Amino acid sequence: MKKNESDAKIILNRLGKLSGFLNNLDADASNDDCFNYPLEIIQKTMMFDVSVLYKVSNLIEDRLILEVVKVLDPKDLRMDLRENRKLRLFLDARDKRYVNEVNAFLNKNVSCLNVPGMGCDVIGYVFFPKECGGAYLFGGDFFGKESSVKDFEVSTVEIMCNFLSTLLLKTQFKHQAEYDALTGLYNSRKIKEELGRVLKRLERKPVLSASIVMGDIDFFKKINDTYGHIQGDLVLKEVGKILTLSMREYFDTAGRYGGEEFLLILDEIEGDHTVQIVERIRKKIAATRFAQVNRSGKIIENQFINITMSFGVAQLNSGESNGGGMASAFETLTEHIGRADTALYTSKENGRNQTTLYKEKIKDADISHRGDQYPL
């Protein structure tokens, strides 16, 4: 039994649509989402019974570790290919079912050998730097004795691999330009850019409001001095996760402003309500037990440290000052950040581990919210 004949013109048309699909893919889409359309082309347009996507998880001596990410197998023919399953393949391709997977990885290209029955007949290699998560393999399996894969089908897989490699690298470079590698939050440049966007919107719609928050980890230098910089990096990473999970989707944004300092933008919210949200974040951080590591980075069992953070809140308002010192959106970005920083400084002066809302008379007793101190 031979594979059903595919139509070169139809495949060429789908490749054109693939280019449009990849260019229009949502910026927040995961790497895996890029492969949805290519997998459909292999399974539906190129007439393979099964299409599969692998992620290269690791290479340990003579074994290649692949994770099955996605499978299109409407007839349930490949019981060995289940999403999230790990395959451990010898690089000398002892298991002939996966000879194309091994060859594609070793040669960094498309491999097309007929594998009767359970075994992909064509597999392509998609380059992605190891430090960014590793490479991908994807291709198709015709569940018969003769694969009858045409040259133009092999070329199609090769073209798709080139498309995807280019897109993934472009996405990664964009991500590196906008995100802080340690915390996963926006970097300083990008969070300032987001603040500028909010300020411009407030200029257009004076009835709206937003708030910015400056947060700083208390006694962070002491953490580095006492436990080492690996511990400090771990704390920054975990704080980044807490802030990410605490942001309202579509409304709030968090960024690492520099060092142990963070800038949050809370959209469509008044200053007092912002303080309530920030207080919940502050208490959550104070209550978190951060795993303790030694200076080589190994986790010390049943050893934890506690940290606290101080916050300063400034309301953004495009209208007139309401007597409480609310800033006009026509003022500079630096001036707005400066207000939040002034409020943060007040929190530090008053004992840390608290949230202060900026007002012209910043030392008014009713604008600070102080919690219990949590020693290191």
Give the catalytic positions in this structure.
Answer: 260
CA-to-CA distance for 104 and 101, rounded, in angstroms? Answer: 5
**What's the length of the chain?**
376
293 forms beta bridges with 299
Displacement of CA 161 from its chain's centroid (Å): 22
State the Cα–Cα distance between residues 365 and 190, nearest whole angstrom: 34
Q: At what angle do helices 188-204 and 151-178 cross, to 10 degrees?
A: 80
What's the one-letter identity of residue 346?
T
